């Protein structure tokens, strides 16, 4: 299901690889606003964005390559990091203005006292629990369930978004996490994927591009995170900035949000162009890129306030929140609302923008 179809489905029923763990393969390349793709307006403001080498961060790549940042008056530098902790340090030292931080780490960082705001979404969904084909041999696909993992060994990356997602799913399926299943923690998504080669491991939670690589290698997805009813499409990476910077320069962050919204529209309307833009940043086969970007993944720039609260509650339920706090105090809807409203004012008949507005109206607290 592609992005706009997912958003539309959500609206009808009740109303975007992830970088979803705490690590990703490190690389050293920066990209600055001198790209030949950015040539349509005068540069007014320097703006630095961190990212991980992840398909889930494709909106940055599109906004850069298609010139949306420059259109919005931003002279952007994209800097690749290896994990969220590095990004947090860069934010607080003033090296970058925005970073995609996964929901688990964002909530933990705020709980530790870091003054951060979530100003929009980067991606949701994107993860799968894959198992050794022997686990489902002879079982009709319609009968796949987590009950098949009773007494089995599953690898989860501790503290990742999909660690939260699949622990909740296992609990919801009636499995005691201490007695009915052996959960082994790993520190990285790379290690989780590699663990599938072990005869002692029955399954692992993986994100892009490992999700499709595992499937291509013969492992079977027994559950995608977008199928977990508890979350109704769980959030993952959020666009995060320092609270003081958002307060002092709201117009700059609104320009950034406008570029994100425009990139999400391009992602929906031009699959080939979007994959080509992502390919410039990710050393991944184009077929895998397209599969990861357009299946079981959403790249919605909305702050998704209600789903952030749901994720916070899931972390509380699992004992991942040491001291309770009001997570909504760190979610900024105004930046996104102003950005989206200005785009709708310019193009009032744009169905994609109208769809985002309807979704947003259902995604925030009254």
Coil/strand/helix, residue 62: helix
Domain 127-227: which CATH number of 3.40.190.10, 1.10.580.10, 3.30.420.40, 3.20.20.70: 3.40.190.10
Please, is 326 exposed, middle or buried when counting C-beta atoms within 10 Å of its C-beta (0-12, 13-18, 19+)? exposed
pLDDT greater at residue 359 or residue 7? 359
Going from N- to C-terminal start, the domains of the chain cover 3-125+233-363, 127-227
pLDDT at 119: 99
pLDDT tens for 40-54 read 446 589 999 999 988
Give the strand pairing for 153-157 and 203-207.
parallel
Q: Residue 272 — φ and ψ, nearest 5°?
A: -65, -45
Token pair listed for 19: 């970088």
320/25 Cα distance (integer angstroms): 25
pLDDT tens for 254-270 read 999 999 999 999 999 99
H-run or E-run covering 186: strand 182-186
Q: Indicate left, alpha or beta for 40 from its phi (over 0: left) and psi (-120 to 50: alpha).
A: alpha
pLDDT tens for 278-311 read 999 999 999 999 999 999 999 999 999 999 999 9
Half-sphere exposure in the Cβ direction for 365 (13 Å, CA): 12
Widest distance between CA atoms in the chain: 62
pLDDT greater at residue 16 or residue 328? 328
pLDDT greater at residue 24 or residue 90? 90
CATH topology of domain 3-125+233-363: D-Maltodextrin-Binding Protein; domain 2 (3.40.190)
Please, is 64 exposed, middle or buried when counting C-beta atoms within 10 Å of its C-beta (0-12, 13-18, 19+)? buried
Question: Is residue 20 very low, low, confident or very high in pLDDT (cuts 50, 70, 90)?
Answer: low
Buried b (16+ CB within 10 A) or exposed e, 210-245: bbbbbbeeebbbbbbbbebeebebbbbbbbbbbeeb
> Has residue 9 got a pLDDT over 50?
no
pLDDT at 187: 83
pLDDT tens for 203-245 read 999 988 889 899 999 999 999 999 999 999 999 999 999 999 9
Q: Do domains 3-125+233-363 and 127-227 have the same CATH topology?
A: yes
């Amino acid at each position: 299901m592609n992005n706009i179809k997912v958003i539309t489905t959500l609206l009808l029923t009740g109303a975007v690889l992830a970088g979803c763990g705490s690590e990703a393969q490190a690389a050293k390349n920066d990209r600055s606003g001198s790209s030949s793709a950015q040539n349509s307006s005068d540069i007014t403001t320097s703006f630095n964005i961190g990212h991980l080498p992840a398909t889930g961060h494709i909106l940055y790549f599109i906004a850069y390559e298609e010139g949306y940042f420059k259109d919005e008056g931003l002279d952007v530098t994209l800097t690749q990091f290896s994990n969220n902790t590095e990004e947090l340090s860069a934010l607080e030292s003033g090296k970058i203005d925005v970073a995609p931080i996964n929901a688990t780490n964002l909530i933990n960082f705020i709980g530790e006292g870091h003054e951060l705001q979530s100003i929009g979404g980067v991606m949701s969904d994107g993860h799968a629990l894959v198992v050794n084909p022997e686990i489902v041999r002879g079982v009709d696909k319609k009968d796949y369930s987590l009950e098949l993992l009773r007494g089995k060994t599953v690898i989860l990356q501790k503290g990742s978004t999909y660690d939260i997602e699949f622990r909740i799913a296992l609990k919801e399926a009636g499995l005691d996490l201490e007695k009915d299943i052996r959960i082994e923690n790993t520190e990285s998504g790379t290690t989780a994927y590699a663990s599938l080669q072990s005869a002692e491991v029955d399954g692992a939670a993986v994100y892009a591009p490992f999700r499709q690589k595992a499937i291509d290698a013969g492992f079977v997805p027994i559950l995608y995170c977008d199928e977990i009813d508890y979350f109704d499409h769980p959030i993952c990476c959020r666009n995060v900035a320092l609270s003081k910077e958002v307060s002092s320069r709201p117009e700059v962050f609104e320009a950034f949000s406008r570029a994100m919204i425009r990139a999400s529209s391009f992602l929906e309307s031009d699959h080939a162009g979007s994959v080509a833009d992502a390919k410039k940043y990710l050393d991944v086969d184009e077929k895998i890129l397209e599969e990861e970007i357009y299946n079981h993944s959403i790249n919605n720039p909305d702050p998704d306030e209600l789903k952030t609260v749901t994720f916070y509650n899931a972390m509380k339920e699992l004992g991942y929140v040491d001291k309770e706090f009001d997570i909504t105090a760190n979610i900024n809807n105004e930046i996104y609302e102003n950005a989206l409203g200005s785009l709708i004012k310019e193009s009032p008949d744009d169905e994609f923008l109208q769809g985002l507005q309807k979704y947003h109206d259902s995604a925030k607290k009254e």
